[in-house]
Structure 1
Amino acid sequence: MTDRRLTPANGRVAALHLAGQVTADRYLAGQPMMLARPVSDLCAAPAQARDRQLLLGAVVTVFEDRDGWSFVQAVDGYVGYVASDRLGAVQEATHMVGTMATHAYLAEDMKSRDVMALPFGARVTVLDERAKFFETTLGYIPKKHLRPLDRPFTDPATVAQLHFGVPYLWGGNSTRGIDCSGLVAAAFGACAILCPADSDLQCAGLGADFNGAARRGDLIFWQGHVAMMVDDATLIHANAHHMATAYEPLEAARLRIAAQGGGPVTARRRI
């Protein structure tokens, strides 16, 4: 049985490599395009509920553009629909936003008009370096807020901690709003580690089971939930109980989640 989240096929079109495996009217190689807005919903069906989100500069493969919605597959393999007006031509990104958020300004001046608010992880193209700003295709962005893509973060837990206090948002993937698996995907993605988008996929595809004491960066899974350890006793997770990304002692979280009907820990994975 195919997983619709990871299968680029909708009956009308399908990825070329799926010919003979799924039924479709056309099989296509697809066209690369790039997300041109800070945060965009990736939906299970056109104009329907959000599955995940994609950030500025993310490259997707577009298989169909129909009635204002594009059927796409993201780099992590996730498939869905994004509003077509949120896509643009691919530009080679050079930097990512490495702080919780930043702004692109009209001029090389923090008092000039801000033209776009950008979340952590958004990818931009730097054109020139000035005294305190990078000139980008979007405008001028403070140099201290950007990080070269060829110098990724090295500690996923540090990235997760940058999201402390971010409001909880089901299907969210940004510092505007994030959920448990979105936090893990952001943490590993910023470290140039390809990470699935949903917690069940992360549990199946990341790391290996471990025994003994937890350590920084380990993942703790429940049915439908995931958290990351920041030390041997404390985790950080985006969760609906706090409606935010919050720290919690592992043992307290284990007892609370069980008491609230979330069941026991189902896996412990070490990357």
Structure 2
Amino acid sequence: MLSVVPMRAETSDKAEIVTQLTFGECYEVVARDGNWLQLQLAADGYRGWIDMKQHTPVSAEYYWEWSQAKHPRALDLVQVVRNADVRIPVGLGCYLPFFDGASIRVNEERYQYDGRASDPAEIATPAQLLQVANSFLKAPYLWGGKSIFGIDCSGFTQLVFGICGYQLPRDANQQVNHGEEVHFVAQAQPGDLAYFSNPEGRITHVGLVLEGQQIMHAHGEVRIDTLDHNGIYNAARKRYSHNLRIIKRIHF
């Protein structure tokens, strides 16, 4: 069990990172190629390859239990889970499987956790969503990243909504299929998701709408910029960085 593991597009340490496996997640092994395993994540169905040295097997019974439950997520930037033999760092948004208020369970092993945790039974408000999002400000951009120490645009929105109890798909062009369309920027509300397209019309970027026509998004870092009907305006660079395509509102 590790804090974060890169999942790659191909069976090479030089291959593109397509996403990350974070502590507490469950997955199926769907293929093997030498020392590489192809995984399918239980939460969002995403696939990628990991080095088998970073594989932690669990029982079929545990995997089924994990898949049927809603798990709390870590709310501290960095904490640890521990038992008598090991201490494992866990970051903001990591799953806390079968957390009982004091410990988590992985397979039959229990590990103590003393940090803050989300309540998966609670229905999140826009204010809570933005509070979680603010915890990621200044997190560095990383293509395929899904942690406080490196995150991409859709990893950011997926993680924020996941902490608040709503499972989004991994990529922006998948996330755009969720929610109800908001027709005008002036009608957007805090917590809405704004999507942006490239010159070919493909959705390539996503960010979280804030108050006052601002947007929080991962672009070099998790940052706040201005949003208008054209797109995202970067005041420091005095230019638009992304072209607005559509705004969607998620109903919890």
Q: Does 1:231 align with 2:202?
A: no
Partner of 1:45: 10
Partner of 1:9: none
Residue identity opposite 1:145 in structure 2: R
Structure 1 residues 87 and 152: CA distance shift in structure 2, 3 A: farther
What is the rounded CA distance, in whole Å, between the counterparts of 1:235 and 1:65 in structure 2? 41
Q: What SS class does the counterpart of residue 175 from structure 2 fall into?
A: helix
| Pairwise CA distance, 1:150 | 4.0
Partner of 1:211: 183
Q: Does 1:82 align with 2:50?
A: yes
What is the rounded CA distance, in whole Å, between the counterparts of 1:138 and 1:118 in structure 2? 15
User: Structure 1, residues 19-58: CA drift from partner, whole Å, max 9, x if none?
Assistant: xxxxxxxxxxxxxxxxx32111111111211011121121
User: Structure 1, residues 41-83: CA drift from partner, whole Å, max 9, x if none?
Assistant: 1111112110111211211121123322111212312122122
User: Structure 1, residues 202-247: CA drift from partner, whole Å, max 9, x if none?
Assistant: 12x221221232111111122221110122422111112xxx2112
Structure 1 residues 215 and 60: CA distance shift in structure 2, 3 A: same
Structure 1 residues 175 and 255: CA distance shift in structure 2, 3 A: closer
Q: What SS class does the counterpart of residue 211 from structure 2 fall into?
A: coil
| Pairwise CA distance, 1:195 | 0.8
Partner of 1:104: 81
Residue identity opposite 2:225 in structure 1: E
| Pairwise CA distance, 1:164 | 1.4
- The 8 Å contact of residues 156 and 187 in structure 1, kept in 2 or not, is answered as yes
Partner of 1:120: 92
Q: What SS class does the counterpart of residue 216 from structure 1 fall into?
A: coil
Percent of counterpart pairs with the same letter? 23
Residue number among 30, 53, 57 corresponding to 1:63 in the alignment: 30
Gaps of 5+ in 1: 1-35, 108-112
Q: Aligned runs of 1:194-209 on 2, under 5 Å?
A: 194-203=167-176, 205-209=177-181
Query: What CA RMSD, in Å, does the superposition of the two structures yield over aligned residues?
Result: 2.9
| Pairwise CA distance, 1:182 | 0.6
User: Structure 1, residues 170-199: CA drift from partner, whole Å, max 9, x if none?
Assistant: 111011211111101001112222211111
User: Structure 1, residues 81-122: CA drift from partner, whole Å, max 9, x if none?
Assistant: 122232321545654212222123456xxxxx9822111122
What is the rounded CA distance, in whole Å, between the counterparts of 1:127 and 1:206 in structure 2? 29
| Pairwise CA distance, 1:259 | 6.8
Gaps of 5+ in 2: 198-203
What is the TM-score normalised by the length of structure 2?
A: 0.75
What is the rounded CA distance, in whole Å, between the counterparts of 1:266 and 1:61 in structure 2? 35
Higher relative contact order (CA 8 A, sep 6+): 2
Partner of 1:246: 223
Residue number among 117, 137, 153 corresponding to 1:146 in the alignment: 117
- The 8 Å contact of residues 225 and 233 in structure 2, kept in 1 or not, is answered as no
Q: Aligned runs of 1:18-33 on 2, under 5 Å?
A: none
- The 8 Å contact of residues 226 and 233 in structure 2, kept in 1 or not, is answered as no
What is the rounded CA distance, in whole Å, between the counterparts of 1:122 and 1:164 in structure 2? 17
Q: What SS class does the counterpart of residue 227 from structure 1 fall into?
A: strand
Structure 1 residues 228 and 128: CA distance shift in structure 2, 3 A: closer
